[in-house]
Copies of this chain bind each other. A is one copy, B any other.
Amino acid sequence: MRLATLLGPDVKELLHDDPDQVRALLEEIHAEDIADLVSELSSEDASTLLSRLEPSEAAPIFERLPMHEQQEILAHMAPEVAAQIAGAMASDDRADLFQGLPEHVGDALLSNLQRVDPEAAEEVREIEKWPETSAGHLMTTRYVSVLPTATVGDALAAVRSDALVRDEPVYNVYAIEEDDRLIGVASLRDLILSEPSESLADIMRSHVISVQAGMDQEEVARWMAKYDLNVMPVVDDGNRVLGVITIDDIVDVLTQEQTEDIQRIGGVEPLQEPYFQTSFFSFIRKRGVWLVVLFFEEFFTQTALRHYDPVFEAIKGATYYVPLLISAGGNSGSQSSTLIIRGLAIGEIKMRDWLRILAREASMGLVLGLMLGAIGFSRVLMYRDQHWQFALTIGITLVGIVMTGCTVGSMLPLILRRLGIDPATSSTPFIASLVDVLGIIVFVQVAKIVMADVILAHAAH
């Protein structure tokens, strides 16, 4: 990595001028770093460069490029070459590539791939059968397996012969029956620790943790993290092995799912592409929809304020406190909803805990509300022209509003989850708007009690 950073400009020039040199470089620099450098070339230059390499050399670089760059480079490539490179890619990366391509481009590439590497084409079809965020879509269909009757020596031979066809890390050998049922697993370390003549059945673990192909990738990630697994077999209903998921894909899944959660919490529909690759129009759509929904929701604040016009007419300057009061509710609501949404996401909080949460949040709201209420009360008293009754109204309102924020903010994500909706879906801004309206109602009701005489006097007048 330091090497690549150091050589950056020179290497880029070299890649451009003499693509054949890349072969020598590949032995020195990680494909990831070469990919970084290729990223900075024009898609035409990148295409020329990758075409000059052996497909087995080009694929590890190509598969590390961002999706949109892959598509642009493919557009400049001879269909034959593109198919060869696709054939040499890791099968999960290849599936992602096809997923992202426009249908007619994908179909053309797949029929070329069928000619160059029928097995790879079959894999693409197998993986594409599964939903994009499922275990089946995340898996690679290549793994090392032997029959359960094999010896340790057979298993080691299988690892060696696998190495002849592909250059990807291998950690486990699976014992799989003729009908594809998963029987056991042995790590390379287990194999090294045993005598070649030993029976694999004697040394393998036969309680293999596996996932169904339809399982959501986020849940797969949780399982792999929980059991500290580097590789997870994917099976069908009959415990027949379809493929394996490797931990490096899980790290990507976690990052992607977390990005989506954060975007939802921020009130943006999750983006499919990085910030700069997302089109202007796509941004307008993904942000606009929530801005408009929240805008309509927030109209209720205006309606409520207008509705309570007589009260606000009676208490001069009261409306000036509205943003201050309702933002306290919105902020405490955001805190609660953030804590609950994240707790649900990482499994710390269960639905059955709702009553404990309600009790906790209500009492937290009371204490936090008293803190802000005391500050608010003192602040109003500092104005000479404000009555102590008004200061008291502000203080009590803050207690009520912060309690409302904490309880609504903590309960709404649980309700959304119960309704089968992702609790992260824009709930933080949504809760803030809801609490804004409730806050105005709390304010008016408190004022009507504490300042009843003032309001009555104004009405009589």
- A contacts, CB < 8 Å to B: 1, 3, 28-30, 32, 156, 159-160, 163, 169-171, 187-189, 191-193, 207, 209, 221, 223-228, 230, 247-248, 250-252, 254-255, 258-259, 261-263, 265-268, 271, 274-276, 280, 283-284, 287-288, 290-292, 294-296, 298-299, 301-302, 305-306, 309, 312, 317, 319-324, 326-328, 330-332, 334-335, 337-343, 346, 348-349, 353, 356, 360, 363-364, 367-368, 371-372, 375-376, 379, 402, 428-429, 432-433, 436, 440
Contacts and interface: CB of A to CB of B under 8 A. Distances in A.
Contacts of A331: 267, 290-291, 294-295, 429
Contacts of A171: 171, 188, 230
Contact of A346 (B3, B255, B324, B332): B255
A322 B322 contact: yes
A248 to B, nearest CB: 4
A262 B261 contact: yes
A378 to B, nearest CB: 12
Given A276-B348, A305-B320, A306-B320, 12 more contacts: A30-B207, A255-B346, A265-B265, A266-B334, A267-B338, A275-B340, A280-B364, A291-B372, A292-B375, A295-B372, A305-B323, A322-B323
A255 B335 CA distance: 19
B248 A334 contact: no
Contacts of A299: 324, 379
A348 B225 contact: no
A450 to B, nearest CB: 19
Contact of A338 (B263, B320, B371): B263
Contact of A368 (B209, B287, B323): B287
15 contacts: A1-B209, A30-B207, A159-B189, A225-B248, A228-B248, A250-B251, A267-B331, A268-B335, A275-B340, A276-B349, A291-B331, A291-B402, A295-B324, A301-B323, A323-B326
A299 B378 CA distance: 12
Contacts of A276: 348-349, 353, 356
A331 B428 CA distance: 10
Given A169-B230, A280-B364, A328-B295, A287 B335 contact: yes
A364 B287 CA distance: 9
A320 B265 CA distance: 27
A69 to B, nearest CB: 14
Contacts of A338: 262-263, 265-268
Given A191-B192, A295-B372, A275 B323 contact: no
Contacts of A348: 274-276
Nearest to A343: B275
A301 to B, nearest CB: 4
Contact of A29 (B207, B223, B323): B207
Nearest to A308: B320
A201 B250 CA distance: 32
Contact of A230 (B29, B247, B295, B327): B247
B301 A324 contact: yes
A302 B380 CA distance: 11
A275 B284 CA distance: 36
Contacts of A268: 335, 338-339
A319 B305 contact: yes
Contact of A266 (B255, B326, B337, B433): B337
Contacts of A1: 209, 223, 227
A159 B322 contact: no
B227 A32 contact: yes
- The 9 A-B residue pairs with the shortest CB-CB distance, nearest first, are A266-B338, A305-B320, A319-B319, A228-B248, A301-B323, A188-B188, A274-B348, A225-B251, A258-B258
